Structure 1
Amino acid sequence: MSRTIGKRNPVQEVSSHKKPKVNSPKTPPEDALEVLRHEPGYDLLVSTLRQLAREQPDSASFSIHRPSPLSAQIVQVLVSEIVPNYWTLLKEDSNDGGNASSSSALGLLLTCLRSITSINAILVRLRALIQEAKAETGNKTKRPDISMNTAILLDLLCNVLQGDVCVSEIWRKASAGQDVDSPKLRPLSQELLSIFGSGRIISLAAEADEISKTGSNKTTAAADGIWPADALRYTQWLGQNIVKWQLSDPTAEQTKLCSDLFAKALRLGRSDIVTKQVMSNLLLAKGADDQRFGALLDKLPQMEQRRVLFSVLKIFPEDHLNRLGLCESDQSRGLISAVAGALKSIIGSDENRKNHLVEWLTGSSGAGLGEGVAIRRAVLAVVSEERDRIVTVLEKSIGQFGDQLYIKHSPMLQQEAHAQVLLLSAGYVFRKYPIKLTLQMRSGTWLNTISNRLASTNQRSRFLGMVVGEGLSGLVEKGDKKLDFHMEDTNQAEGKWYKGLVQVSDTVGSWNSLSVPQKEPSKSQKVPQKPPPRPKAQPTRTVQPRQQGFIIEEVDEDTDEDDGLVPYPKPEGDEEDSDDDPTLVRRDKPKAPVYIRDLIRYFRDTESYDRQKLALTTAPTLIRRKANYGTEVAEHADELASLLVGLQDKYEMDNFDDLKLQGMIAIVVAQPQIMGQWFSKTFFDGDYSVSQRASVLVVLGLSARELAGFETSEYAAAAAFPSKTLPERIGRLFIGAAPPNIQQSSASSLKPLPPNALDSMAKSLTSEFLAPLAATAADAATGPDIFKLSTFTDQLNDQQLTPAGNPKVKIKSRARPRVRAIPNTTAQLIATHFFSPLTARFQAALHSSASRVRGIIFHPYLLALYLKTLALMLHAAGPSTLALPQMTAELWRLLLGTSIRAHAVGDLGVTQAVLFGLLAILDVNEDRMRDVCQELGREAVETQEWVASVFGGLRGGDGGEEEEQVKMLAAGVLVRLNEGIEKYQLLMVGDLIG
C-alpha cells in the first residue's frame, strides 16, 4: 500500500480515481464520502479523517457526530470498508502500542466513530456477521474472513467505548447546537438509552467473541480482552461514565438523561455493583457533594428508587457494619451514627423513600436477613426522627411477630431480625411517646403475640417470645409487675443482650468517617499482564552460614568409643548446582509464610508461581495452627476466604482444587460462628461461577461434618503444636497399649477430596440408611412389594460400608451401629450458623425479583448440591440437637416447596437430592416419629403421595443406573414413612381434619 508524501487536496486526489460524472458541485462532506468509497491511499485517508473529525458547534454545519443521512453513509463506509482494510495498519502506526492519541491516524478514526450512529453501525455489522457465521455452521468450507472481520469489529468496539467520559462526550457532540426544547433531542436521548442501557452491546459482543475465537488469526484481538462481552466489566464501565457525567456539572436535562441511564444500568443484572460505584463516588468520596447523588436519585422512577435504597442497605453492612458484631463499643456507635447520617442524606425529605424504610424494617424480606444488628440500628435511628413512623414500625412488628403462620413458617434468621426491630423500636417509642407503648401492651394484639409465641413447639421461637416479653415489660412495668419467666436461657448472655436492645438509642451523625479514596481505574481499562511461564520445580537447599575465624580442637585418633553420632550419608549430587548454565540456578525462592498476613500477601501475588504454590500448601495447616492462638485468623478470616473462593488455577497446579477446599475448610473450622454465615451469604450474593458456588457448598457440608466429629482432617494433627503432643518414644508406648476400639476410630479421614465429595458422602449415607431395610427384605422369602426391583435387594446386600480403620464388612443386622468418634457438642452451632443461614437465604431468594439470583438457586446442579448439603448438615447435627424440630420442619417444607418439586420433574439429579433429604429427615427423627407425625402430619401425607407418584413413574432397571438408584431411594422413603404413618395415624387425624 503506497503512501503519498506531502499534503494534497482530497478533491484533487479523487480526480485520479475513476469518478462518476456529477452535474452539481459537491460539499466537502460529500467529497469525503466519495474519497472513502474509492479506496483512498493512506495519507489521503488520514487527511479525510482529519477533516471529518473537526467539531462543528453550530447546528447549520455538517458534523459526523450528529445523526443525518450523509453522516450515516460516511459511517457505514468507514465501518464496512475502511476499518477491515486499514485497521491493522492504523494500530501499528498509532502511538504507544495501540493507545492512540487524538492526533494519530487511529485517534482520528476513533474520534469520527464515537457517535450514536457509529456504535449502531458497528452493532448492526456484528449482527450480520453473527448471522452469516450461524448460516455456515452446516457447511464444511467456511469463509475464513468472518472470524477475522468479527475480531476486528470487536477490537474497534472496545477502542470506541474506551474511557470514562465516552457517553457524555457522545451526547455532547450529538446535541451540540440544539436548543434545550428541540424536538430532535427526545428521540436522540431514547436512542442513547437504547444503545448503552439495553444490554445489546453485551449480548452481541459476547456472541461475536465466541465466533472470533474459532478463527486462527488472533493478532487483531484486543489487548485487554473483549471487556464489553463481560456484563460485570461493562456495568462497571457504565457506572463510571455515569459518575463522571454527574460530576461535570450537567444541566437539568442532562441530569435527567443521566438518571435514566442509571435506571437502565440497574436492570443489567448488577444493580448492587453499579449502586455501590455511584454512591461511593458521588456521596462517600472525600469532598463529594451529596446533592449530586440526591439529584440523580430524585429523577428515578419509584421502583428504581426502592431498588437503589435496598441495595444501599446491603452495601453498608458488607463494607462497614458487619465487622462490628454486637455493636457494644463506642467505635461501633460512631460508625452506626455515620451510616445513619448517610442514609438520612439519601432519604432526604421524600415521603416514598421513608415508606420504603418502614417496609424494609417490617416486610417479609427480613430487615437485612443474615446481616448484623448494626444496619437495623442505623435505619431505626433515621426512622425514629418522626414519631408517627416509629410507632407504625412498632405496631406492624408486634402484629407480625405474633402471627401463627409467621411463627410456624418463617426462617429463624428472619424472626430474629424482626425481634431485634421490635425491641429497638419499642425503646424509641417509650422514650418519645411512653403512653403509646403502655396502651399497646394492654391491647389484645400484644397478649395474643406472647401467647402464640409460648405455644410454639419451636424452642427458638419460644425463646424470642420470652425475651421480647421481658424486654418490653421492663420498660412499662415496675417492681413485681415486670414479666419474668425465670428461665435460664433468658438470663444468659444472649438473652440479656436481646433485652438490652430496648435501651439502645442511636443518633444521626456525619458520614465523613465513611469517606473512601477514589477508586482505581476500572477493570475494563486495565491491561492484564501475560502470566509468566511455570518455572521448573527445583529442590530447596539449606545454606550453612560461614564461620568466622578458626576453631582449634585436639582430636584423639586412638579412641574407638561410639559417641552416638550418626554420620550423614554422602550426597549423590546437588541437582541445583548440576546445571551447566549458572544463570538458571534460583537463589531467591520464597520461604513458607508463618503469619496470616504473609499468607494473604502470597495469595494476592498471582504473578508468582512459587508464592501461589506455597500459599496453597501452607494454608490448611497454618490456619488451623493459628486458630486458637492470637487473633490473626479472626481478623483476616473474611479477606482470606474471599481470596480462596475466587482463586484461579492459572498455573495448572497438582491437587489445586483439593488444597483450595482444605484451606477454606480450615477457615470455617477455625471460625465457625463467623465463617459459616459468611460462606452462606457468599453462595447467594457473591459474583462467582457455578463451580465456585459449588465449592462453597462442599466446604460448608464438609466443615459441618468435621465439627460434628464425623470427619477428621489430616491437617488437624499436622497443625498441633509440639507442646500438645507426646514425644515419639512415649507416644508409641501409649498408642501401642491402647485398646483396639480406641485405635480404630469410626470417624473417617479427609483424604484428597474429589470434585464430587458431597455426592460420595450422600451415596455412603444412602447405603447406611437403606441397609436395615435391605436386611429386612433379605430375611423374608419375598419382601414387600415396594422392594421388588430387579437389582434392589442384591445391591443392598452387597453394599459394603467401610469406616476408617475397619475392614470391609457386609451389614447383615437390622440395627445400624451409631458410633461417634467424639461427642457431638456442636449441634447447636451447626443449626444456628450453618443450616439456618442457608435455608433463610434460600427463602429470601425465592421472593427476590432479581432474575440472576433465581437463576443461581435453580441451576439444576447447584440446586441438587444445595439440598444434599442441607441433608448432610441435618445428619451431622444428629438426633440429640435441641434445634432438631426446627431444622426438620424447615428442611421438610423446603423440600416440598412448589418450586423445588417443579424443578425435580424430569431432572433425576434434583429428584435424587430431594429424596435423599427426605430420607435423612426420617433417619435422624427415627426416635421421635410420634412428634413428627403430630407436628408435621400434613407434610408427611403430602410427601407420601408425591414419593409414590415418583416411584410409579420410574422404570427401575430398564431406565439406567441413575434411575434405578432414584427408585431405590423412593422405595426407602416410602417404607420409612409408611411405618410411621401406620403407627401414629390416629394422632394425625385431628390435624388433617382441621
Structure 2
Amino acid sequence: MEGLLTPMRTTSTPRDEPLITISKSSQSAPPQLTTVLSPVSPSTLDDILTTLRSKPSSETLSQVLDLLVPSTDINSFDISTPSPKASQVVKALLELTVPDFWSIISKSGRSKLILCLRSITGLGGIIARLRFLIKSADSQPGVKGQIEELLDLLQGVLGQTGIVRGIWVSGGVGGDGKRGVVWKEFVTLAAGGKLLSVAAAGENILGKGGRERWVGDGKLYTTWLGREISKASTKIDSEEDGEEWEALAVLLGRGFSLGYSDDLVESLTYCHITLNTLPKLHRLLSQLLSHEKRTYLSSLLRILSRKHLFNPQLFQSLEDPSENPTGPDTFDAQWWKSDTPVVSQIAALLHIILGGDTTYRDLVVDWLVSSNGGGVGEPIGIRRALVAALNEDQDVLKVLLEKSMIIFGDSVWIRHTPIMRQEVNVQLLLLLSGYTHRQLPQYLNRLARSSPFLNGVSNRLAASSIRARFLGMIVGESLSGLTDKDGKPMDFGVTETASEEARWWKSIVGVQDSIGDAGEVIKLAQGGEITVRKRKQSTEVNPKIQSKVMVVEEVESEEEEEEDDEFQPYPKPDSDAEDSDEDPTLINRKKDTAPIYIRDLLLYLRSTDSYDRQLLALQSSAALIRRKANFGKELSDHASELASLLTGLNDKFGVENFQEMRMQALIALVVSSPVLVGGLLARGFFEGDYSLGQRAAMASAIGMGARELAGCDDGDLPLSVESAKGKSTELFPSKMLPGLMHNQWIKGKTSPLDRITGGMEKMMISPMAAEAADKVTGPNILKVRTFSSRIEVEKRRVKPAENKLGKVVAEAFFFPLTGRWWGALKDFGGRGIHFEPFLLTLFLKTLSIILHATGPSAVALPQMTSELWDLLFSLRNHSFPTSNDSSVQEAVLFALLTLLEVNTSNDNGRRLADEHAKELLETQEWVSGIMESGQLGEEEKGRVLAASVIVRIRGIIDGYQRRLMGELLSLEA
C-alpha cells in the first residue's frame, strides 16, 4: 500500500487560499496510503476501544488481544466482568474485528479472540449479534457469512474445557454480589434455551450445505452441557462451598427443560463414571429439587436398560422354541447368572447415587410400584439392579413387597391395566419374594397366608383375561413353593404352568444379585454396550433345510448348428461410457455387488456417503432378510441393529421408490423376527429422536407385518406414495387433477394403512347395509335365490391360511404398543409428538389392523379388547389438543367398529354383553353424543362409521335381551 499517497501537511491559511496544498511531486508520483498506527500501550479501555475502531493492522490487533486475554498480569484489562465499557469493547470485537479478521486471522489469533469472549459478557454479545443478523438475513444477502463466522466463534467459546467453572469463578472477581447476577444470566443463556435456540436458528438460515456444528444440535449441545457440569463438579470440594454445589444444581435442573433429559443425564453420569468421581455426583444430585430428582432417576434407569441390559436372546427363545438349546426337560434355572456382572455394576452405581437420600429412595419405590411405573417395556435386569441396591434396607423391601402384592390382587387394576404393566408387577413381586424369603422367611410365610395375597390369587383366577389368570397361577405356585416346602405346595395341574415360559417365571424367585465393587462401575463407561455371554449353541444342521440341484440340458438341432455361422458378433464400441470422464482417477471400475450376508447389508446401510451402496442395500434388503430368516441365527443376532439402521435411514440421495423399498425391508424384518423387531419398533415409535415419517414407517411396518403373519394377501398393495401414483389411474377413470393437487390427494389418501382400513370399512359396513336393504325390499322368503352346485362352491372357496399372528400378537405387537402408550401419556400428558393428529390416527389404525388380523379365535383377544377399549376411552377422558381433529375421531370410530366386529364373529357379541356391558352402554352414549353435537361436521365417512358403531352395539344389546328373556321363560316353565 506504500507509495499510493504522499504525506500532506495541514497549515492555517486565509479563507481565500486552498486548505490543502499538493506538491508537484505528488502530481507525478502515484498516491500512497499511510497506515496510522494505533497505540500499542493503551492505559484504559477507552484507548483499546479507539484502537479497535480505527481499523488496526493484524500486528496491532494481536497486541490488543494480548491485553484483553484474562490473566494474572497487572497490565491486562478485564472485560469478563459486566460493565458498560466491557460491553462496548465486546461489541466492537463482534461488529468490527470478527467480520474483518476472522477469515484471515491465524490460529493463535483466533484462540486469543475466543479467550477474550469467554465470559458472560462475550456470550451475551454473541447471542445479541446473532439475533440481529438472523432478523436481517432476508433483506441483506451478505449476512450469512457473518452468521457462519459467529457460529464458529460461539462453538469455539463453548468448546473450551471448563467454561462453566470459569464463569462461576469470574463472576466473583468483582465482588459486591455480582456473582449471583452473573450466574443467573449464564443459567438463562446456557440452560434456559436462549443460546441453543439462537444457534439452531442460525444453522437453519445457513441450511444443510455448510459444515455441521454441535452448538445448534439439541442432542449434541445437551451432551456438551452435561459434560461441562460434570467437570465443574469435580473441581469442588465435596464438603465445602455449598453455594457452588447449589449453583451447579440450578444449572443442571434448568437443563432438563431443554427437552433432551436422557442425553443430559447420560453425559453427566458417564463422565463421572469415567473420572471415577461418583461421590461428587451424589453430592451434586442431592441438591436437586424433588421433581428434578424424579426426571434424573427416570432418565438414568431408561439409559441403563437401553445400553447394558437389553438381551435379544430372551426374545429369540420366544420367537421359536426350537432355537432354544435348553429344552423343557433341561431348563436352566440359573439363566440370570449370565448377566450378573452387569447387574451388579449397575446396582453399585445406583447404590452410590441413592446413598442416604430418602427422596431418591421414595422415588425408586414409586417408580417400581406406581400404576404406570416399573419400567414398562424395560428388561427385568433394571428391576433386579434396583432390588439389589435396596436389599440392605429391609424396611424398604417390606414396603415394596406389600404394595406390589396389594396391586397384584386388585380386581379393578387387573381388569383395566395393560398386561405389560401386570407382567412388570409380577416380576417385581417374585423378585421381592425371593429376597424376603432368604432374609425374613417368617415374614413371607405370614404374608403368603394373609387375605391380600389369597384374595389376590382368587381375583386373578376369576379374571376374564387368560394372561391375567396365568400370572395369578404363577405367583400362587411360586410363593407356595417357598413357604409350603414341608407340606404340599400349591399346584393347579394345568399345562400352562408346566411350560417353558412358566418355568422361567417361577425361577425369578431364585434370582440373587449383589452390589458390585464401586471400582468396577467404570466398566460401564469403558465397555459401552456390554455383550452378554451367550449360551452354547448346537452345531447340528437343521434337517428341514435342503438343497435341490436342477440340471438343465440343452438340446441342439441340426438347423440351429447351421444357423450359428450366420450370426456375426457385434462390433466393439468406439468408446466406453465409463471412460467418458476427463479425469481417469474418477473412474470407478470396482463396482459393488449386492450383499449376500447380513453383515454386508449392515455395512452398506452405514455407508451414508455412497449412493451405489445405499441403492444396493435397499434393493436387496427385503429378499436377503427373508432368505436368512430360517437359516441359522445370522438374522436374529443382527435384527436389532438392522431395525435401527432401517428406521433411521434418510433419503439423502433422492432414491426412486425409497420409501417402498425401506418399507418392504421393515415388513420382512417384522415377519422374520416378530417378537424382537415388534418390540423394538414399538419402542422407537414412542421413544428416540425420530421424525414423523420415520415413526409412521415403524407403525406401517408393524401393521403390514402383522397382516402378513395372519395370512392376509397384500402383495399387490403399493407401500408408498411413489408406487401408489402408478396405480392411481383407477381412481380417475377419465382425467387426473393438476400435479400439485394430485400429489396432495395421493399423500392424504393412499398410505398403506389407509388403503387397508378402507377395505376393512367396506367389509364391515356392507353386511349392515345389505341387511338394511333387505328390510326395505321385503321378507327374504319372497326373494329368488340361485343355488350353485356344491362342486362349484368348493372351487370358489378360498382355503384359509395359517394364522401365525395369534401365537405372537400379544407380546410382539399389541401389548408393547398399548403399554408404551400409557407410559407416554403419563410422561407427556398428551402434549408430545405421539399425539399429533397424523401419528395418533396412524397409531389407532395400526392397533385396529392388528386386532382385525388376529381374528376372533386368538387366545389373547379378551385382554386385547379390554386394553383397546380403555385406550379409546382415554381419548374421551383427556383433553388432548388434537382430540377434536376429524381424522382422529374417524380413527377412534374405526377402532370401535373393528373391536365390535372381531368380538361378534363367533358368539354374536355374547361375551361382550356379559363382561363389558358397562363399556357397551358408555360407548353407545359417547358415539351418539358425537353425532348429535355435530362434531363430525359434513364428513360422510365419519357419520357412516358412527352410525355403524351404534347399529352394531344395538344388535349386541338386542341379542342379549332376547337371550335373557328366553332364559327367564325357561325358568318359569
Counterpart check, 1:772 vs 2:780: no
When residues 424 and 126 of structure 1 are mapped into structure 2, their CA distance, relative to the original with a 3 A threshold, is: same
Q: Between Structure 1 and Structure 2, how many residues are aligned?
A: 835
What do the CA deviations read for 1:482-539 (whole angstroms, capped 9, x no partner)?
Answer: 211111111111112212222221122236376256799xxxxxxxxxxxxxxxxxxx
What is the root-mean-square deviation of aligned Cα atoms in Å?
A: 3.6
Task: Write the letter of the residue equivalent to 2:593.
Answer: K
The answer to whether the Cα contact below 8 Å between 2:38 and 2:56 also exists between their aligned partners in 1 is no
When residues 94 and 619 of structure 1 are mapped into structure 2, their CA distance, relative to the original with a 3 A threshold, is: farther
When residues 222 and 485 of structure 1 are mapped into structure 2, their CA distance, relative to the original with a 3 A threshold, is: same
Q: Select the residue among 145, 159, 182 that pairs with 1:162.
A: 159
Mean CA deviation greater in 321-330 or 146-155: 146-155
The answer to whether the Cα contact below 8 Å between 2:675 and 2:808 also exists between their aligned partners in 1 is yes
State the distance in 2 between where 1:417 and 1:755 align.
39
Question: How is 1:87-236 mapped onto 2 (pairs within 5 angstroms)?
Answer: 87=99, 89-95=100-106, 101=107, 103-104=108-109, 106-128=110-132, 142-144=139-141, 150=147, 153-176=150-173, 183-210=177-204, 223-225=211-213, 227-236=214-223
What do the CA deviations read for 1:566-624 (whole angstroms, capped 9, x no partner)?
Answer: 99994576685674558365321122222211211111121211111111112111111
Task: Write the letter of the residue equivalent to 1:856.
Answer: I
Structure 2 counterpart of 1:829:
808
Structure 2 counterpart of 1:700:
702
TM-score (ref. length: structure 2): 0.79
Task: Write the letter of the residue equivalent to 1:879.
Answer: P
Structure 2 counterpart of 1:864:
841
State the distance in 2 between where 1:304 and 1:618 align.
47
The answer to whether the Cα contact below 8 Å between 2:463 and 2:469 also exists between their aligned partners in 1 is yes
Structure 1 counterpart of 2:819:
840
Deviation, structure 1 residue 289: 3.1
State the distance in 2 between where 1:265 and 1:901 align.
28
The answer to whether the Cα contact below 8 Å between 1:358 and 1:393 also exists between their aligned partners in 2 is yes
State the distance in 2 between where 1:121 and 1:231 align.
21
Q: Select the residue among 96, 104, 126 that pairs with 1:82.
A: 96
State the distance in 1 between where 2:496 and 2:693 align.
41
When residues 599 and 439 of structure 1 are mapped into structure 2, their CA distance, relative to the original with a 3 A threshold, is: same
Counterpart check, 1:970 vs 2:957: no
Q: Select the residue among 652, 669, 672 that pairs with 1:670.
A: 672
Question: How is 1:682-701 mapped onto 2 (pairs within 5 angstroms)?
Answer: 682-701=684-703
Question: How is 1:11-90 mapped onto 2 (pairs within 5 angstroms)?
Answer: 11=39, 27-40=43-56, 43-56=59-72, 62-79=77-94, 81-83=95-97, 86-87=98-99, 89-90=100-101
When residues 412 and 577 of structure 1 are mapped into structure 2, their CA distance, relative to the original with a 3 A threshold, is: same
Q: Select the residue among 411, 434, 446 that pairs with 1:439.
A: 446
Q: Select the residue among 916, 927, 932 that pairs with 1:947.
A: 927
Structure 1 counterpart of 2:756:
761
Mean CA deviation greater in 297-306 or 677-686: 297-306
Identity %: 37
Counterpart check, 1:497 vs 2:492: no
Where 2:608 maps in the other structure, the secondary structure is coil
Q: Select the residue among 219, 242, 258 that pairs with 2:248.
A: 258
Mean CA deviation greater in 604-613 or 418-427: 604-613
Deviation, structure 1 residue 888: 0.9
Deviation, structure 1 residue 313: 1.3
Deviation, structure 1 residue 652: 0.9
Counterpart check, 1:238 vs 2:225: yes
State the distance in 2 between where 1:302 and 1:130 align.
38
Task: Write the letter of the residue equivalent to 2:650.
Answer: Q
Task: Write the letter of the residue equivalent to 2:392.
Answer: E
Mean CA deviation greater in 458-467 or 381-390: 381-390
Where 2:103 maps in the other structure, the secondary structure is helix
State the distance in 2 between where 1:193 and 1:955 align.
46
Structure 2 counterpart of 1:720:
none
The answer to whether the Cα contact below 8 Å between 1:317 and 1:372 also exists between their aligned partners in 2 is yes
Structure 2 counterpart of 1:403:
410
Task: Write the letter of the residue equivalent to 1:765.
Answer: M
The answer to whether the Cα contact below 8 Å between 1:577 and 1:585 also exists between their aligned partners in 2 is no
The answer to whether the Cα contact below 8 Å between 2:305 and 2:382 also exists between their aligned partners in 1 is yes
The answer to whether the Cα contact below 8 Å between 1:758 and 1:869 also exists between their aligned partners in 2 is yes
Where 1:281 maps in the other structure, the secondary structure is helix
State the distance in 2 between where 1:263 and 1:78 align.
33
Task: Write the letter of the residue equivalent to 1:628.
Answer: N
Question: How is 1:301-700 mapped onto 2 (pairs within 5 angstroms)?
Answer: 301-323=289-311, 328=335, 330-478=337-485, 481-510=488-517, 512=520, 515=523, 570=569, 576=576, 579-580=579-580, 583=584, 585-700=587-702
State the distance in 2 between where 1:566 and 1:955 align.
80
Task: Write the letter of the residue equivalent to 1:112.
Answer: C
Q: Select the residue among 903, 919, 923 that pairs with 1:925.
A: 903
Deviation, structure 1 residue 982: 2.7
State the distance in 2 between where 1:777 and 1:923 align.
17
State the distance in 2 between where 1:912 and 1:839 align.
19
The answer to whether the Cα contact below 8 Å between 1:53 and 1:111 also exists between their aligned partners in 2 is yes
Deviation, structure 1 residue 864: 0.5
Counterpart check, 1:935 vs 2:915: yes
State the distance in 1 between where 2:748 and 2:640 align.
23
The answer to whether the Cα contact below 8 Å between 2:872 and 2:892 also exists between their aligned partners in 1 is yes
When residues 986 and 44 of structure 1 are mapped into structure 2, their CA distance, relative to the original with a 3 A threshold, is: farther
Deviation, structure 1 residue 699: 0.9
The answer to whether the Cα contact below 8 Å between 1:242 and 1:262 also exists between their aligned partners in 2 is yes
Structure 2 counterpart of 1:10:
38
Deviation, structure 1 residue 319: 0.9
Task: Write the letter of the residue equivalent to 1:300.
Answer: L
State the distance in 1 between where 2:945 and 2:443 align.
57
Q: Select the residue among 882, 885, 904 that pairs with 2:859.
A: 882
Where 1:425 maps in the other structure, the secondary structure is helix
When residues 224 and 130 of structure 1 are mapped into structure 2, their CA distance, relative to the original with a 3 A threshold, is: closer
What do the CA deviations read for 1:227-275 (whole angstroms, capped 9, x no partner)?
Answer: 4333222212212322333445677454443333222222211111111
Deviation, structure 1 residue 478: 3.1
Q: Select the residue among 981, 984, 994 that pairs with 2:957.
A: 981
Deviation, structure 1 residue 922: 1.3
The answer to whether the Cα contact below 8 Å between 1:895 and 1:901 also exists between their aligned partners in 2 is no
Deviation, structure 1 residue 399: 0.7
TM-score (ref. length: structure 1): 0.77
Mean CA deviation greater in 899-908 or 655-664: 899-908
Mean CA deviation greater in 304-313 or 682-691: 304-313
State the distance in 1 between where 2:191 and 2:806 align.
49
The answer to whether the Cα contact below 8 Å between 1:370 and 1:837 also exists between their aligned partners in 2 is yes
State the distance in 2 between where 1:772 and 1:317 align.
49
What do the CA deviations read for 1:852-890 (whole angstroms, capped 9, x no partner)?
Answer: x84122111000000000000001111110111111111
The answer to whether the Cα contact below 8 Å between 1:951 and 1:967 also exists between their aligned partners in 2 is yes
Task: Write the letter of the residue equivalent to 1:258.
Answer: L
When residues 573 and 881 of structure 1 are mapped into structure 2, their CA distance, relative to the original with a 3 A threshold, is: farther
State the distance in 1 between where 2:350 and 2:40 align.
66
Deviation, structure 1 residue 160: 3.2
State the distance in 1 between where 2:490 and 2:673 align.
36
Task: Write the letter of the residue equivalent to 2:915.
Answer: E
Task: Write the letter of the residue equivalent to 2:846.
Answer: T
State the distance in 2 between where 1:432 and 1:291 align.
29
The answer to whether the Cα contact below 8 Å between 1:403 and 1:452 also exists between their aligned partners in 2 is yes
Structure 2 unaligned blocks of 5 or more: 5-31, 315-333, 529-556, 718-746, 779-795, 966-973
State the distance in 1 between where 2:124 and 2:695 align.
37
Task: Write the letter of the residue equivalent to 2:305.
Answer: P
State the distance in 2 between where 1:312 and 1:621 align.
39
What do the CA deviations read for 1:364-394 (whole angstroms, capped 9, x no partner)?
Answer: 2331111122221121112222222111111
Counterpart check, 1:292 vs 2:266: no
Task: Write the letter of the residue equivalent to 1:48.
Answer: V
